[in-house]
Amino acid sequence: MRCLVTGGAGFIGSNLVEALLGRGDDVVVLDNFATGRRENLADVEQWARAGGGRFTLIEGDVRDRDTVARAVEGVEVVFHQAALPSVARSVDDPLSSHKVNVTGTLHLLLEARDRGVRRFVAASSSSLYGESPTLPKVETMPREPISPYGLDKAAAETYCVLFHRLYGLETVALRYFNVFGPRQDPASDYAAVIPKFTTSRLRGEPAPVNGDGSQTRDFTFIENVVRANLLAAEAPAEACGEFYNIACGERISLLDLVDAIGEVIGRRIEPVFRPPRPGDIQHSLADISKAGRLLGYHPTVDLAAGLQRTVAWFERQVEA
């Protein structure tokens, strides 16, 4: 199968590229390296040899329609992972967030429709649920985003649903909940908490906690997310035109997470508290029964196992 992975040099995208090449698919990556990293694709030839797939890199931007058209040509499945991520970044710069996350998605949907793509799998986000106190989050709940990023993701997945209903394009939107794992960048100002906590401890520094640390999250190991994408690409047609929570269905507070990472590393981590970030929600927990029922998705790596594998990867980076 010939696939396009937008944002394929990013954290989630590169792990997906590895899985696709490893099973023998031909993979085209479209990335402008604004947030993706070239080193995430350093082993791409090895992955391709292992599975027999072929790899093509197109350096370009989803905001450029001509570049998108070139990337989609001859593709059977689009895995749309490209985004300008981070709630905090979108609060700082909502216009750029919209152009990448909404306009870029529309460009891809138009080209996928016009070039005969079979299936369009899009990365959405739990951030579109907003600050509703209802837990767990179920797909039938109203979308009430409290950040431009959450609004962008709501608009993008609405486009996916409309393209299925209006044009018959098979679309599936996956609402990711706090993905973590190897290749996640800890250096960015907008980095997720697990790589930040882990690298802080490995450097002997306190872990930076925004707010009081009581906020809870449903952390999802990258392998589960990759598997969800592969399942979404092959799910029956009746699963299309829908959106799905992709998570583990369990939650943990940030302070308990700090302790859990410290246990894996073998040294206690002291938190240092910072002001809450605008647009951040307090609590998050997913109901994943719909994904289980229609996609066959069930998490295979829980938080404890994921932390073990993630910490081991970051330790290797520090030693290298």
Residues annotated catalytic, as ranges? 149
- CB 201, CB 207: distance < 8 Å: yes
Q: Tokens in use for 305? A: 């196992």
Strand pairing of 216-217 and 252-253? antiparallel
Phi-psi region of 194 (alpha: psi -120 to 50; beta: other; left: phi over 0): alpha
- CB 147, CB 298: distance < 8 Å: no
- CB 29, CB 3: distance < 8 Å: no
Burial of 319: CB neighbours in 10 Å, binned 0-12, 13-18, 19+ = exposed
Q: Which helix (H) or strand (E) holds 310?
A: helix 303-319
Phi-psi region of 163 (alpha: psi -120 to 50; beta: other; left: phi over 0): alpha
- What's the CA gap between 51 and 252, in Å, rounded? 37
Peptide bond into 275 cis (omega under 30): no
- CB 31, CB 7: distance < 8 Å: yes
